[in-house]
Structure 1
Amino acid sequence: MKPHNPNRVPTDVYLSFVSSLSGNRMTLLVGVIVHAATCLAIAAKTQSPLYVALALGFIVVFIGRIATFRAFDKVDKDALTHDDIQRWERILVTGAAGTTTLLGFASGYAIFFLGDGFAELACIAVTMATMVSVVGRNYGSRMAIDIQTFSCCLPMIICSLMVLDFYRGILSIFLIPFWLTTRAMANGVREFLYENVIARREITSIADRFDTALNNMPHGLVMVDAQNRIQVINRKACELLRIGDPERLKDRDLGAVLRYGARYSFMDASQPELILRQMTHVAEGKLSRTLIHFPEDLSLEFSASPRADGGAVLIFEDVSSRVKAEQKILHMVRFDSLTGLPNREYFSHLVQDYLARHTKKRGPIGFMVLDIDEFKHVNDMRGHVTGDRLLCAIANRVAKQAGKATVGRLMGDQFILFFPHAKDMAALDAEIRRVHTAIQGTYEADDVTFLVSLSGGFVLLESDAFAMEEWSIKADLALFESKSKQRGGLSGFEREMDGRYIEQQKLKSDLRDAIAAKGLSVAYQPMFKADGSRIECAEALARWVHPEKGAIPPDVFIRLAEEMGVISDITRFILMKACTDCMTWPEHIAVSVNLSARDLRDADILAVVAEALQASKLEASRLHLEITESCLIDEPAAVRAILAELRARGITIAIDDFGTGFSSLSYLDTLPLDIVKIDRSFLRNIVEDGRRLKLLRGTVNLARELGLKIVTEGVETTEQLALLNKYRATDLIQGYVFSPPVPSQNIALLQQAIGRRAVQRRRNKVA
């Protein structure tokens, strides 16, 4: 950009150019001395008094210009507007023009009037020298250049032509290109300086913005060259690594800086080399990023990118809060929320991990299952809140007395223990019996003393013969043996107990026959709106009444069905029955059916669902399908595809028992879900324990942020219901507070009763 028009030049740049007109005052002093001395010399030789007057004129103009300069120096430059600067430019140019006008007049007079060779040579030489200095002193103003070159050259050209000498005329014409060249030189200098000033301003502005962005970014950044020397480092990096001021670290070796940090700050001595090694791995593409833990609960996540010159850019951030949150979530999904013990899945993982790490170790191991005797009576008589507190007290004592054994919560009021390698069977047997004896006795909960006994069953075996499912069954058989004998007993598994196993196999055979003969039945537990004003859905629950043994608990025969591989047959029966029954209910009520992991292993379930809907004429929108996290263990991608297809057909998908599995939170965003069913374990002690309420509300808020509907299971007390409604922590309620599981025909009756109560309330209001 060329500054042809001062109005286009930024004000501060324009001011700097105008200020240059008052600079170089020493050269101005030298110039006036030369000018006055030359005039006096010519006056002495030619006896012309005019040159004495010109010498005085130069001195007067010089004094006036110096006074103007000082006045300009005193002006507040920051307060000057563009017009003010332009006015000062005219004032300064006027003073400069006074000097060049006197020079032009002196030269012209010497040429035309004096006709003296010395006078002509002296005047023209001084004038030409002054013309050259004009470029150096007045480049900042186009006006100054034009006026000064014009006032110097024009009198000489005119007077040379007036002499009517051919050769002098030729020389005078040569002054015109000299004039133009001088003008062009000054303009070139001004434009060059202007472009450089603008470029420097832009570079400075970019550098300031870059510096601001660099030092205000939330990540630490270090840029190193091929020799691992620091070229750029921001404040955040220095704060996170605590390695001093960024200005002092430029061109320092990164390794040396980190080792200094290890010596004088919080890092361990091994961490500088770890950072450099991991940075190399990340830069080479062996790792996408790496997480390094430091003392004081600091966790930094590093990523690196190679540079074309052989260097690298290292970026890292403080992820301590995220790591703590992940650890907290991982703890929540691995450990029982009530007792703090490992849940069944994580307990199994711990046992398998121990055995994998001790494959070469030989010796007996133990496996024990404990069951609290008649614990149901505590819940029935004292309530679930007291029951939960008693359960926690028992869990704490079991964990304390277990010694080296791993303790987990199996389910409900059952605990499971794994005893690591012992020197012999007798020692291990004695240790198991010691633990069992130590946990019997009295417990305090809610200022009530309970006499508690725990029945136990255990298995002793060599570690190379351990199979989790098989030996848990044997421990269950031993537990059943002890409970059948006396409360608080302990029995080890013996081969004679295989009879019990045979009996279980007989139960499996009976179950197979019942499925074939459609001997199962279905009960429905309704899901109410949070205020109880309407039934929205009902969950279909399988029931089996054995002709000899009576009602078999669902968790027993469902587990057997899964082991037998006939669970899909039960699912087909339940689907057909549930869809048919749903058609007898009011149109706004949907039905919900549970799917097992086996149901979702192939696409056959799609045909089964379609058949049930077609046979019953039920709309797809009235069918809900519930899955648990165990369905995703084997082939998660295939399961997601099947669920997505079901959902695309208009069927609602719900995840059941949310919060009890290994990684519940990870499924909310990856599965095609519509509903989250909060497990009953979230409600334990929720009225008294504010932390548990916050956990529930946080889980609900997370689900709602993802657009999911909330169903809360196991709501049993009015206090729990009131708390859920107060914080709008649920959309639907499923629990005994409204209704237990009922036959199909009762669903319509319940809805009618709700309608009658609503009508009666409206009548009462009118009355």
Structure 2
Amino acid sequence: MKPPSPDTVPTDVYLSFVSSLFGNRKTLFTGVAVHILTYVVVFMSTRASIYLVLCLAFAAVFVLRMYSFRLFDAADKHNFTRADIASWETRYVIGAAATASILGVGSGYAILIVQDPLAEFICIAVTMASMVSIVGRNYGSQKAIDLQTLACCLPIIIACLMSEQLYKAIVSIMLVPFGLTTRAMANGVREFLYKNVIASREISQIADRFDTALNNMTHGLFMLDAHNRILVVNRKACELLNFSHQEQLKDCEFDVVLRYGARHAFIDGSLPGLIQRQMAQLVSGTLSRTLIQFNEDQFLEFSASRRADGVVILIFEDVTVRIRAERKILHMVRYDPLTGLPNREYFVELVKEKLAARSGESQVSILVLDVDDFKHVNDTKGHVTGDRLLVAIGERLKQLAGSAVLPARLVGDQFVLFFPNESNESDIDSRVRALHAAMTGTYDVDDNSFRISFSGGYVTMSSREFRPEEWQIKADLALFDAKLRMKGSCSAFEQEMDARYVERQKLKDDLREAVEAGNLLAMYQPMFTPDGARIDCCEALARWTHPEKGSIPPNIFVQIAEEMGIVGGITRFMINRACRDCASWPGQVAVSVNLSAQDLRSNDIVHIVAEALDASGLEPTRLHLEVTESCLMDEMATVRSILADLRAKGITIAIDDFGTGFSSLSYLDSLPVDVVKIDRSFVRDITTDSRRFKLLCGIVDLSRALSLHIVIEGVETLEQLALIVESNLADIIQGYVFSTPVPQEQVIGMVESLARRQSGLRHDHVA
């Protein structure tokens, strides 16, 4: 390899070479002392005064060189350019070459002029010794080597050649290879040192990069030897484990460091047993990864790898944020976000855990609570208020449940509670019913006060018979039974409920088939004028004859249809059948059809009625549509709009069962109503109860003041009819006093019979 020149080596290496020239100044003091002493001896031996002059020259050059050295020491080398470094190299080379020149001149003068063997020997010996030292001191500058070698050897060679002594001339020529060898040795030293400087610099750079990477890792790192002593530790490890002196941890035992070096990071100032075992397993290689909780606010995840030579590398990171996020996600998965109660899935898990932890068997209960009329709260007060009501219910549920009962939210407005009965009380049913009763009461939300009741269904079973897939079915059956009985009641599951449920489900399937196939019947109850002389209208009543069970009462199958959401199919069937049948009736007899709350939730009913009228050819004025007050409670604006559209087509609108709902009088003024059908409850006992009769009269007076047509339902006796006729309370009478519901063929016969009777009466009157 060619020795590097100052033009090719990096600037920092060039500076290091030049700096080496200005180092090791003790050799300069030794050299100048030897040189001066030597020339003093030569002077004393030869009495040649030139050697005294040369001694002064040595001293002068030495002083100048020392001054240059001090200037170099004081210079700011960090800002040196290559030109600055070359300038300092030149200064040094001039001083070194001057010293070498004095030695060469002294030796040449001794050979050529003095010609004293002792003087020649002393001068040449000192000069050659100095040349040997040139390699060790001046390897950093090729210029210094070349000039000093030339300055030492050239005067000797010239003097030997001019002495005309053959052997001296031959020997002097030998200085040429000696000088070249010296030069080559210096170059070799410089090349070797250059390689080492470059290698050292690269190693230093690699070490710096490694150290930078190591100490800027997001993970903590320990490297342990086979004896569990720390070889390497990075800054992040010290931060995570609260170590303050990173450099002092090297060669310390890892267990000791963890136990005593970071006491404030651990519980009670030392590693808990679990953490200590986990660390031991990691270091031994029996565990490759583990999560360690050092305190409530710090989770570290460790992974370990073990090399063949026994060195263990531990890498760990702070996963506290991740653990918190995972716990938050787990909480979101397990708990209802609105009430903070466990959801259904987690409730089942908790119940299983409680049952698995039991040592003995006992009776346990699960209660399902359903908020009565919760939809009414949402519709009247808004969903925000409804949600806050659920939160208030959840809080009361937690308070009443305490630690002995496990509450949860199933879905919507349904809640569930598990009674583990850990004290093995025999009367667990009374505890369930007591909690159900305690939940009923007043809830204050957003300056609103709600009187809330709950329908409840519960199942009591042996703790060993608990089946997650069965408990809700049984509790729901009990809840369904409670709702059928009365809102706000609580029912326990009984085995016959299961049979009734299966039977009801079968009835639902059969009803769906009957509605889809049109296998329903339409019966008609005539509505007469008070004198009974004419049928004004007939109310269409749906009937269903089951192929196996026979006739199913309307209050049962209509309720089932509403639960299933298929009551609209019954309405469509009845409107089409009623319009078609009414079109075949003689005279101007009208037909009346009942609409359900579901029918009035969209404008579809308007299209259904229009299609039925077009298909049958029935005049719109002969079709009456009846709505109950319960239909008007939800979405009042939508109902008003739909009824207005129907009335605009010429259809008569009637309120059925008037007086049995809420705010009845307000409906008379705000809705497009033509007819008021007063409920049968106002007719009952009017012949014996004067207060009830006065109430009926008041309703009639109010309705007539609003120009409404009055139909009184449920007139069953002649006494009731006589009192109503005498007081002129009704425009139309509907009840068993005149007729029960009849088939459409019989309606035709009744209309024709009444027409013939009226014709006969008129004939007799004329006669």
Secondary structure at the counterpart of residue 6 of structure 1: coil
* Conserved 8 A contact 2:260-2:270: no
CA distance in 2, matches of 1:546, 1:62: 127
Which structure 2 residues correspond to residues 676-687 of structure 1 after superposition, within 5 A? none
Using the TM superposition, give the Cα deviation of residue 30 of structure 1 relative to its aligned residue in structure 2, in angstroms: 2.7
Which structure 2 residues correspond to residues 254-269 of structure 1 after superposition, within 5 A? 254-261=254-261, 263-267=263-267
* Conserved 8 A contact 2:38-2:122: yes
CA distance in 1, matches of 2:71, 2:421: 99
Structure 1 portions without partners, runs of 5+: 520-544, 556-715, 718-767
**Alignment-derived partner of residue 440 in structure 1:** 440
Q: 1:55 to 1:468 in 2, by over 3 A?
A: closer
**Alignment-derived partner of residue 110 in structure 1:** 110
**Alignment-derived partner of residue 298 in structure 1:** 298
Q: 1:26 to 1:200 in 2, by over 3 A?
A: same
Using the TM superposition, give the Cα deviation of residue 396 of structure 1 relative to its aligned residue in structure 2, in angstroms: 1.3
Using the TM superposition, give the Cα deviation of residue 362 of structure 1 relative to its aligned residue in structure 2, in angstroms: 0.9
Which structure 2 residues correspond to residues 515-526 of structure 1 after superposition, within 5 A? none
Q: 1:516 to 1:309 in 2, by over 3 A?
A: farther
Residue 396 of structure 1 aligns with an amino acid whose one-letter code is E
- Deviation string 1:431-458 (CA, Å, 9 cap, x unpaired) is 2122112211111111111111112111
Q: 1:493 to 1:266 in 2, by over 3 A?
A: same
**Alignment-derived partner of residue 15 in structure 1:** 15
Using the TM superposition, give the Cα deviation of residue 275 of structure 1 relative to its aligned residue in structure 2, in angstroms: 4.5
* Conserved 8 A contact 2:156-2:172: yes
Which structure 2 residues correspond to residues 654-673 of structure 1 after superposition, within 5 A? none
**Alignment-derived partner of residue 400 in structure 1:** 399
Q: 1:30 to 1:499 in 2, by over 3 A?
A: closer
Q: 1:164 to 1:512 in 2, by over 3 A?
A: farther
Secondary structure at the counterpart of residue 418 of structure 1: strand
CA distance in 2, matches of 1:134, 1:515: 120
Using the TM superposition, give the Cα deviation of residue 423 of structure 1 relative to its aligned residue in structure 2, in angstroms: 4.6
> 1:60 aligned to 2:71?
no
Higher mean displacement: 337-346 or 16-25: 16-25
**Alignment-derived partner of residue 389 in structure 2:** 390
**Alignment-derived partner of residue 314 in structure 1:** 314
**Alignment-derived partner of residue 417 in structure 2:** 417
Using the TM superposition, give the Cα deviation of residue 286 of structure 1 relative to its aligned residue in structure 2, in angstroms: 6.2
Using the TM superposition, give the Cα deviation of residue 212 of structure 1 relative to its aligned residue in structure 2, in angstroms: 2.1
Residue 364 of structure 1 aligns with an amino acid whose one-letter code is Q
Secondary structure at the counterpart of residue 244 of structure 2: coil
**Alignment-derived partner of residue 120 in structure 2:** 120
Q: 1:69 to 1:515 in 2, by over 3 A?
A: farther
Residue 219 of structure 1 aligns with an amino acid whose one-letter code is H
* Conserved 8 A contact 2:3-2:188: no
Q: 1:504 to 1:73 in 2, by over 3 A?
A: same
- Deviation string 1:137-166 (CA, Å, 9 cap, x unpaired) is 222211001111111112222333443444
**Alignment-derived partner of residue 31 in structure 1:** 31
**Alignment-derived partner of residue 743 in structure 1:** none
CA distance in 1, matches of 2:197, 2:413: 82
Secondary structure at the counterpart of residue 20 of structure 2: helix
* Conserved 8 A contact 1:279-1:303: no
CA distance in 2, matches of 1:2, 1:505: 101
CA distance in 2, matches of 1:439, 1:374: 15
Q: 1:507 to 1:396 in 2, by over 3 A?
A: farther
Alignment root-mean-square deviation, CA: 3.2
* Conserved 8 A contact 2:228-2:254: yes
**Alignment-derived partner of residue 561 in structure 2:** 550
Q: 1:66 to 1:502 in 2, by over 3 A?
A: closer
* Conserved 8 A contact 1:363-1:421: yes
CA distance in 1, matches of 2:89, 2:414: 97
Residue 157 of structure 2 aligns with an amino acid whose one-letter code is I
Using the TM superposition, give the Cα deviation of residue 41 of structure 1 relative to its aligned residue in structure 2, in angstroms: 2.3
Residue 31 of structure 2 aligns with an amino acid whose one-letter code is G
**Alignment-derived partner of residue 696 in structure 1:** none
Using the TM superposition, give the Cα deviation of residue 70 of structure 1 relative to its aligned residue in structure 2, in angstroms: 3.4
- Deviation string 1:303-346 (CA, Å, 9 cap, x unpaired) is 22223421222122222222212211221122122212112222
**Alignment-derived partner of residue 324 in structure 1:** 324
Higher mean displacement: 298-307 or 349-358: 349-358
CA distance in 2, matches of 1:511, 1:65: 121
* Conserved 8 A contact 2:242-2:262: no
Using the TM superposition, give the Cα deviation of residue 259 of structure 1 relative to its aligned residue in structure 2, in angstroms: 0.9
Which structure 2 residues correspond to residues 41-190 of structure 1 after superposition, within 5 A? 41-190=41-190
CA distance in 1, matches of 2:306, 2:201: 31
Secondary structure at the counterpart of residue 256 of structure 2: helix
CA distance in 1, matches of 2:305, 2:489: 65
Q: 1:216 to 1:514 in 2, by over 3 A?
A: farther
Using the TM superposition, give the Cα deviation of residue 99 of structure 1 relative to its aligned residue in structure 2, in angstroms: 1.5
Which structure 2 residues correspond to residues 357-756 of structure 1 after superposition, within 5 A? 357-358=357-358, 360-403=359-402, 404-424=404-424, 426-504=426-504, 506-507=506-507, 510=510, 549-553=560-564
Bigger-Rg structure (1/2) = 2
**Alignment-derived partner of residue 592 in structure 1:** none
* Conserved 8 A contact 1:3-1:9: no
Secondary structure at the counterpart of residue 426 of structure 2: helix
CA distance in 1, matches of 2:167, 2:515: 131
* Conserved 8 A contact 2:17-2:141: yes
Using the TM superposition, give the Cα deviation of residue 361 of structure 1 relative to its aligned residue in structure 2, in angstroms: 2.2
CA distance in 2, matches of 1:120, 1:262: 77
CA distance in 1, matches of 2:285, 2:34: 74
CA distance in 2, matches of 1:270, 1:43: 83
**Alignment-derived partner of residue 201 in structure 1:** 201
Query: Structure 1-normalised TM-score?
Result: 0.64
Secondary structure at the counterpart of residue 226 of structure 2: coil
Q: 1:173 to 1:288 in 2, by over 3 A?
A: same
CA distance in 2, matches of 1:252, 1:516: 86
Using the TM superposition, give the Cα deviation of residue 412 of structure 1 relative to its aligned residue in structure 2, in angstroms: 1.6
CA distance in 2, matches of 1:214, 1:441: 66
Q: Percent identity?
A: 57
CA distance in 1, matches of 2:103, 2:78: 36
CA distance in 1, matches of 2:220, 2:19: 44
Using the TM superposition, give the Cα deviation of residue 35 of structure 1 relative to its aligned residue in structure 2, in angstroms: 2.0
Residue 44 of structure 1 aligns with an amino acid whose one-letter code is M
Using the TM superposition, give the Cα deviation of residue 123 of structure 1 relative to its aligned residue in structure 2, in angstroms: 0.8
CA distance in 1, matches of 2:383, 2:115: 128
CA distance in 1, matches of 2:518, 2:163: 136
Using the TM superposition, give the Cα deviation of residue 496 of structure 1 relative to its aligned residue in structure 2, in angstroms: 3.6
Using the TM superposition, give the Cα deviation of residue 239 of structure 1 relative to its aligned residue in structure 2, in angstroms: 1.4
Secondary structure at the counterpart of residue 9 of structure 1: coil
Query: Structure 2-normalised TM-score?
Result: 0.64
Q: 1:190 to 1:276 in 2, by over 3 A?
A: farther
Residue 63 of structure 1 aligns with an amino acid whose one-letter code is V
CA distance in 2, matches of 1:515, 1:145: 118
CA distance in 1, matches of 2:272, 2:170: 82
Which structure 2 residues correspond to residues 347-366 of structure 1 after superposition, within 5 A? 347-358=347-358, 360-366=359-365
Secondary structure at the counterpart of residue 186 of structure 1: helix
Q: 1:170 to 1:427 in 2, by over 3 A?
A: farther
CA distance in 2, matches of 1:514, 1:331: 48
Q: 1:511 to 1:106 in 2, by over 3 A?
A: farther
Q: Name the count of aligned residue pairs.
A: 533
Using the TM superposition, give the Cα deviation of residue 508 of structure 1 relative to its aligned residue in structure 2, in angstroms: 7.2
**Alignment-derived partner of residue 630 in structure 1:** none
Q: 1:294 to 1:57 in 2, by over 3 A?
A: closer
Residue 561 of structure 2 aligns with an amino acid whose one-letter code is G
CA distance in 2, matches of 1:71, 1:287: 63
Using the TM superposition, give the Cα deviation of residue 469 of structure 1 relative to its aligned residue in structure 2, in angstroms: 2.6
Residue 65 of structure 1 aligns with an amino acid whose one-letter code is R
CA distance in 2, matches of 1:400, 1:173: 115
CA distance in 2, matches of 1:165, 1:517: 146
CA distance in 2, matches of 1:131, 1:436: 113
